[in-house]
Amino acid sequence: MADIKIGAYVCKGCGLGERLNTAQLITVAQREGKAQVVREHEFLCSGAGVSMIRQDIEKEGVNHVVIAACSRRAKTEAFGFDNVAISRANLREGVIWVQPDTEEAKEVTQEMAADYVRMGCAEVTKMQAPQTNPSHGNNKRILIVGGGISGMTSAIEAAKAGYEVLLVEKTGALGGWVAKLHKRIPSHEPYADPMETGVPGLGRQIEADKRIKVYLNSTVSRTSGAPGQFSVDISKESGGTSTENIGSIIMASGFELYDVNKLPELGGGKSPDVVDQAGLEKLARAANGAPIKRPSDGKEIKSVVFVQCAGQRDPSGKHLAYCSGHCCNTSIKQAMYFKDSNPNVDTMVIYTDLRTPGNGEDFYRSAQRKGVTFIKGTVSEVVPGAELQVKFKDLILNDDAVAKADLVVLATGMVANSGVDIDAAEGAPNIQGQGAGSEAKTVSILNLTYRQGKDLPLLKHGFNDSHFICFPYETRRTGIYSCGPVRRPMDAQQAIEDATGAALKAIQAAENAALGRAAHPRSGDLSFPTFRREGCTQCKRCTVECPFGAIDEDEQRYPQFNESRCRRCGTCMGACPVRVISFENYSVDTVGYQLKSVDMPDQFSEKPRILVLACENDAYPALDMAAMNKIQYSAFARVIPVRCLGSVNTIWINDALTSGYDGVVLMGCQKGENYQCHFVKGSEIAQTRMSKIDDTLKGMSLEVERVRTCEVAITDIQRAPKIINEMAETIQKIGLSPMKF
């Protein structure tokens, strides 16, 4: 460590100079922080301030920099020096903006600032300027699995951006479901009539584009590697496999319709005149604008009833539990097929809640204008016969009624083609809430060679986990993006938008991988995890807990990091019981030394210390924003940002408690079904780990209230400071920790 030269810079701008004794902070950095170069500046982020630091780096050989100024989230460009380790002591948002500007508060405010300077120096001592991932690939070709409207769109978009594309389709033609439609739901003003599918045009575009290579009648039989260096086997139905090198992958494997035969009470499978929405499209295509004829006897259809939510939104668990989103608009469109060719055809849509996303409301209105009748009701039975009888309860009139029809269309839902459920216990029904009737899927889409399983993890109901709240398309396999109805139910227009987004994400991933940088959410991060082989006990926690399947095992059963698949969340580091995993700029030591560097007042000082480990994605910005709003919190708190709560190693909690901290607060993102964790599982894993902390506390004869784990959203700018204050109150109640030495 002889070559470490620390430069510590204390800013006096933004009121720091008036509120704090910066000379004392300089002394702290010099004496306790061991900074060889120390300087104050009136306005550190100004051109003069920045060039002062730069000069020290270039002329004085400073290679570790401590910026004691504002939050690490502010002025990132001004303080973005290459090839040096940088630590930020947050004196502005972390100290003066959250403490009152009063004479009484001066002492504790100064102590707080001094501690952050100590912490900054301690952290930087343990950091290295990150070097690029040495084992990165630089292939930028994009593989698209599925040649429906989503896959075709992704292919065209990626090719237009200049990337080579491989489009794999298992059937003999591109187009998927949309190619089978007569027309599709309108995507533009005035949203009044069904429009052409546009599939032939897309097909011609693909054919004409030399950058797009199409594999028909083909599936992906093996996927290995990592972003920038995937190796993929594409097998033809007729035999023969070609191996391709790929930069990133888009999974657009679409959906299947829920099997209408599972709805015999609604006439499914009981009458040729009861069809699903695909069946109606077939009839409409056959008629091609002429009157639609019914399957049983070729009679021109004079009345048709559309039954919405057929086998969907089913609370009993027998059928699909969810809404497929497009079916109301689809039925509206199909009713128009009839009305547009003959306004005298009776078209009735029976629904419980008409859901018309996008501009469907206009489309709905247009159908009403065309004379389509909409009845709020629930259908109990469809009686087959020459004239079908639809028995339903009118929910507005609270009436049992019967509608007679020549044809009944059942709006069954979408079932994702998401491959095998890698998380399902063997023998158990693979997909939650999809209904006992559905068979477990056994055919993999991607055939990943990852130790974590062959396909992308699912969220629920068999759809890919794609972080649909904040980051659509992002999956838990780096460099593999899912789009279209395989990640959530949607219509063609939404799938097109989805596919465009996924194409851009795939391009980004390939480009980042080629530079050895992380993908979302630490996009651009050059650090990567390494482990100390000799200390490893082969416990596999890191491989199991990595939310992204980045870690395999080598022949000797040691973890094998695939750096390019890594998102740099540090969950592996938090998981490791022997603490052998670290990043150059983020490790058990960078945080451990920080928390231990704090000046710990004795038991009789009435100055407790609260350690706050705050997720850098949501909780830390929430605290910053609280500071911008001048919302105050306890001056006894010392906040350390962490990459994800998943990276919190329990040794930190132990260290904190044994060093005399009186309370520890962990702030992470929401977990569970509607998770907001940027690393999907990190927060959840951390909270599971922390559930065992009570034993540790009891072992130390400490009160369990001293450690609290909570979910904090980025919008919790009132609540986050409140949580800290609540801990301060708790400590006041139960007293200071006896573990101060």
Partner 1 sequence: MSELNKVMVEKYRNDFLKEVEANVEEGNWVKMCMQCGVCSGSCPFGPYWEHPPQELFMMIRAGKREEVLASESMWMCTSCYNCIVRCPRELPITHIMHGLANYAHRLGIAPKMNPTRRFAKLFWENIIKGGRVNELKLSIGLYFMDGFSNGVKKGLEMLPVGLGMFKTGRLNPFGLLSGGKCKGAGDIHKMLKKAKEIENRRKGFAP
Residues that bind partner 1 (CB under 8 A): 354, 364-365, 368-369, 371, 373-376, 394, 396-397, 399, 401
Instruction: Output the CA torsion sign for 477, 480, 483, 485.
Output: negative
How far apart are CB 117 and partner 1 at their closest, in Å? 59
How far apart are CB 369 and partner 1 at their closest, in Å? 7
Residue 204: strand, helix, or coil: helix
CA 316 remoteness from chain centre: 30
Nearer to partner 1, 193 or 394 (CB): 394
**Sequence letter at residue 89:** A
Alpha-carbon gap, residue 702 to 737, rounded angstroms: 8
How far apart are CB 309 and partner 1 at their closest, in Å? 16
Contacts 24+ apart (CB under 8 A), 361-366: 362/190, 362/191, 362/192, 363/185, 363/186, 363/191, 363/192, 363/329, 363/332, 363/333, 364/328, 364/329, 364/332, 366/190, 366/191, 366/192, 366/193, 366/336
Alpha-carbon gap, residue 554 to 564, rounded angstroms: 17
Nearer to partner 1, 335 or 526 (CB): 335
How far apart are CB 563 and partner 1 at their closest, in Å? 54
Nearer to partner 1, 396 or 436 (CB): 396
Nearer to partner 1, 372 or 611 (CB): 372
How far apart are CB 397 and partner 1 at their closest, in Å? 6
Nearer to partner 1, 285 or 302 (CB): 302
Nearer to partner 1, 354 or 734 (CB): 354
How far apart are CB 231 and partner 1 at their closest, in Å? 54
How far apart are CB 328 and partner 1 at their closest, in Å? 12
Alpha-carbon gap, residue 490 to 112, rounded angstroms: 52
Q: How far is the CA of 335 from the CAs of 76, 197, 310, in angstroms?
A: 56, 17, 16
How far apart are CB 331 and partner 1 at their closest, in Å? 15
How far apart are CB 376 and partner 1 at their closest, in Å? 5
Nearer to partner 1, 355 or 568 (CB): 355
Alpha-carbon gap, residue 182 to 193, rounded angstroms: 13
Q: What are phi and psi of 410, to 5 degrees?
A: -95, 125
Residue 285: strand, helix, or coil: helix
Q: Are 211 and 159 a contacting pair, CB within 8 Å? A: yes
Nearer to partner 1, 256 or 362 (CB): 362
- What tokens does 378 get? 């629930």
Alpha-carbon gap, residue 127 to 123, rounded angstroms: 7
Roughly how many angstroms between the first and final C-alpha of the chain, as a whole number?
29
Q: Torsion-angle region of residue 404: left (phi > 0), alpha (psi -120 to 50) or beta?
A: beta
């032939």: which residue's tokens? 200
How far apart are CB 388 and partner 1 at their closest, in Å? 18
How far apart are CB 74 and partner 1 at their closest, in Å? 45
How far apart are CB 329 and partner 1 at their closest, in Å? 14
Q: What are phi and psi of 701, to 5 degrees?
A: 60, 40
Residue 16: strand, helix, or coil: helix
Q: Torsion-angle region of residue 630: left (phi > 0), alpha (psi -120 to 50) or beta?
A: left
Alpha-carbon gap, residue 160 to 733, rounded angstroms: 64
How far apart are CB 414 and partner 1 at their closest, in Å? 25
How far apart are CB 301 and partner 1 at their closest, in Å? 18
Q: Are 645 and 670 a contacting pair, CB within 8 Å? A: no
User: Residue 497: CB partners within 8 Å, gap ≥ 6?
Assistant: none
Residue 208: is it exposed, middle or buried by C-beta count within 10 angstroms (0-12/13-18/19+)? exposed
Alpha-carbon gap, residue 227 to 284, rounded angstroms: 44
> Across the strands, what pairs with 319?
none
Nearer to partner 1, 346 or 716 (CB): 346
How far apart are CB 373 and partner 1 at their closest, in Å? 5
Nearer to partner 1, 55 or 380 (CB): 380
Nearer to partner 1, 237 or 361 (CB): 361
Alpha-carbon gap, residue 162 to 150, rounded angstroms: 19
Nearer to partner 1, 400 or 439 (CB): 400
Q: Which H helix or E strand runs over 405? A: strand 399-405
Nearer to partner 1, 375 or 506 (CB): 375
How far apart are CB 368 and partner 1 at their closest, in Å? 5
Nearer to partner 1, 402 or 578 (CB): 402
Nearer to partner 1, 364 or 620 (CB): 364
Nearer to partner 1, 366 or 597 (CB): 366
Nearer to partner 1, 119 or 379 (CB): 379
For the sheet containing 480-482, what is the strand order?
Answer: 212-215, 165-168, 142-145, 248-251, 480-482
Q: Are 279 and 409 a contacting pair, CB within 8 Å? A: yes
How far apart are CB 639 and partner 1 at their closest, in Å? 47
Q: Count the alpha carbons within 13 Å of 431 in the hemisphere toward its beta carbon.
A: 29
Q: What are phi and psi of 731, to 5 degrees?
A: -65, -40
Q: Which H helix or E strand runs over 404? A: strand 399-405
Task: Give me the torsion for CA of 665, 668, 670, 675, rounded to 10°.
Answer: -160
How far apart are CB 149 and partner 1 at their closest, in Å? 29
Nearer to partner 1, 313 or 540 (CB): 313
